Structure 1
């Protein structure tokens, strides 16, 4: 698992010596060193490694555990490798029929921690990859360690066996402390805060008649409250949830409206767009485009109706874009394929908007665009008639 934090220093713990007896593959030695580094084990001894030492494959597989690889101790025999130890454990997956205690990894780690804590020296023997430890090597150990694994497939990779022992020893040595815990960025929400949020939620749910039928209202409220109390929310959670509820409530226009502005507000925004666009130099067109993006997210009822028709009707689907710039101008709808623009005309619109449309129309027609004006009232009263008029215009020769 990746994620080592290079800014943190490692723990310096006095742990057991890891002894590999005649390891065959350099990669296994390197991966053993890596496993040791994970759990603050630092002393690695090798007894007669098959491919000699140092070993390039081991260095590569160590993946950063250089402090262990660089300090490996070499021995010719097991006897020499364990001579200074007064507690020796031998790991094996096979019963060697020797009269000595057999421990699981957790019990073995407990003995090691206790022994080292009393000033002793402990070591763990690991055998060859292919056939493990010999009887006479196991005979030197004070304890036998075996792992609770599938009896039909009991052999562990060398580094895996070291990892399991290192894990159990490290847990006990560090009182099972995790390297990090859930951050407490916000204190728990008070009952008063939860009550205030819940009252607001219920008020908004009543507005949309969610809590019905009436005879189930009390049960639904209890179930809803239990959802939030089970969460054990923080103050920040409550602020966020309150904001979510209010955003939905204040922006609720129904599927027919879309966005956060109603039709009247979108019309006023159109006027603002026209006012900003008049006589503006080309290098300032970003402001106009920003307003156009806002308008695109907040269509009027007529715009929405027409846009749905233009995108769903097979006669026009794929041909039109909405609130898309042509040069510095932004018509309501444009078809680049047909070089045709559609302008919606609101009843009672201001002189500024009318002048802006006239300027835009002249500019578009100078560039061989046809411009069709549709009155908003006509679109809302008889959309199909306006679509038929649009289709007729498309069929006319340019």
Structure 2
């Protein structure tokens, strides 16, 4: 079953190569999207080449919704974006992927159903397709070579969608819980006592200044509880090594 996470549907209009459908599925799943719709795939459906290219994202293909026409694929949507690199004579708002996904996030938060259309590999969306969209997404690429592969275009748009929900990435690289102040204080006392016994704070008239600098050092470091335990252990081991003879 598709996830219940609110998100746009990505609609592949008349895709030609199964490999590109699979690449699109993989790109979507990289960024937590799983609402794929496919309109009139050239080589029929299901497609073994799409499954092979999708790798671990095969579930998206199993659950993809297949339609005969663009109108059918968009029938339940409130707002649709059409991706295109070519200038059109149709008057519509033109947005970058970032702007479009910001707008999509706001619309979905209001309860709207949103779709993004991606055209076939050879020539992209036809004007009849674009006419059914409310806005255009245009990627700022090299005007001398503006054509994007289907999978690339899906990847760029999915990435911008994920940027609106970046907590997943931040959580994946989250800092472990920082040590409490009392833990850092106890660490500072341990080092001051042991270094004092070793004669580190010398000469006497500089001892307080040296201790102050050491406490300041600890407070500047974003230590975790694990860091504190390791530093205690390092000091205890050095003392044991010194006294073992």
Q: CA RMSD in A?
A: 3.4
* 1:1-398 superposed matches below 5 A: 11-149=3-141, 151=143, 154-172=146-164, 174=165, 176-177=167-168, 178-180=170-172, 181-184=174-177, 187-190=180-183, 192-203=185-196, 206=199, 223-252=213-242, 261-262=244-245
Question: Helix, strand or coil: the match of 1:116?
Answer: helix
Instruction: Provide the TM-score with structure 2 as the length reference.
Output: 0.78
CA drift of 1:22 comes to: 2.4
The TM-score normalised by the length of structure 1 is 0.51
5+ unaligned residues in a row in structure 1: which ranges? 1-8, 253-259, 263-398
Q: 1:187 to 1:224 in 2, by over 3 A?
A: closer
Against the structure 1 CA distance between its residues 46 and 192, is the aligned structure 2 distance closer, same or farther, given a 3 Å change threshold?
closer
**Contact 2:22–2:50 at 8 Å: present in 1 too?**
yes
Question: After superposition, what is the alpha-carbon deviation per residue over 1:307-355, rounded to whole angstroms, capped at 9, x for unaligned?
Answer: xxxxxxxxxxxxxxxxxxxxxxxxxxxxxxxxxxxxxxxxxxxxxxxxx
Matches of 1:89 and 1:48 in 2, distance apart?
19
2:96/2:137 contact within 8 Å kept: yes
Structure possessing the higher radius of gyration over alpha carbons: 1
CA distance in structure 1 between the aligned counterparts of 2:198 and 2:162, rounded to whole angstroms:
53
Summarize the Cα distance change of 1:122–1:202 in structure 2 as closer, same or farther, 3 Å threshold.
Answer: same
TM-aligned CA deviation for residue 246 of structure 1: 3.2
Distance in 2, Cα, partners of 1:190 & 1:251 = 25
Measured at CA, do residues 100 and 205 of structure 1 come closer, stay the same or move farther in structure 2, by a change above 3 Å?
Answer: farther
Cα deviation, 1:189-228, whole Å, max 9, x if unaligned, reads 4463143033135325535xxx678898777655544432
Residue 56 of structure 2 aligns to a residue whose secondary structure is coil
Query: CA separation of 1:168/1:228 partners in 2, compared to 1, >3 Å: closer, same or farther?
Result: same
**How far apart in 1 are the matches of 2:2 and 2:182?**
37
- Give the whole-Å Cα distance in 1 for the aligned partners of 2:196 and 2:144: 63
How many residue pairs are counted as aligned between the two chains?
243
* Unpaired stretches in structure 2, ≥5 consecutive residues: none
**Aligned CA distance change for structure 1 residues 219 and 30 (closer, same or farther; 3 Å):** same
Describe the SS at the equivalent of 1:229. helix
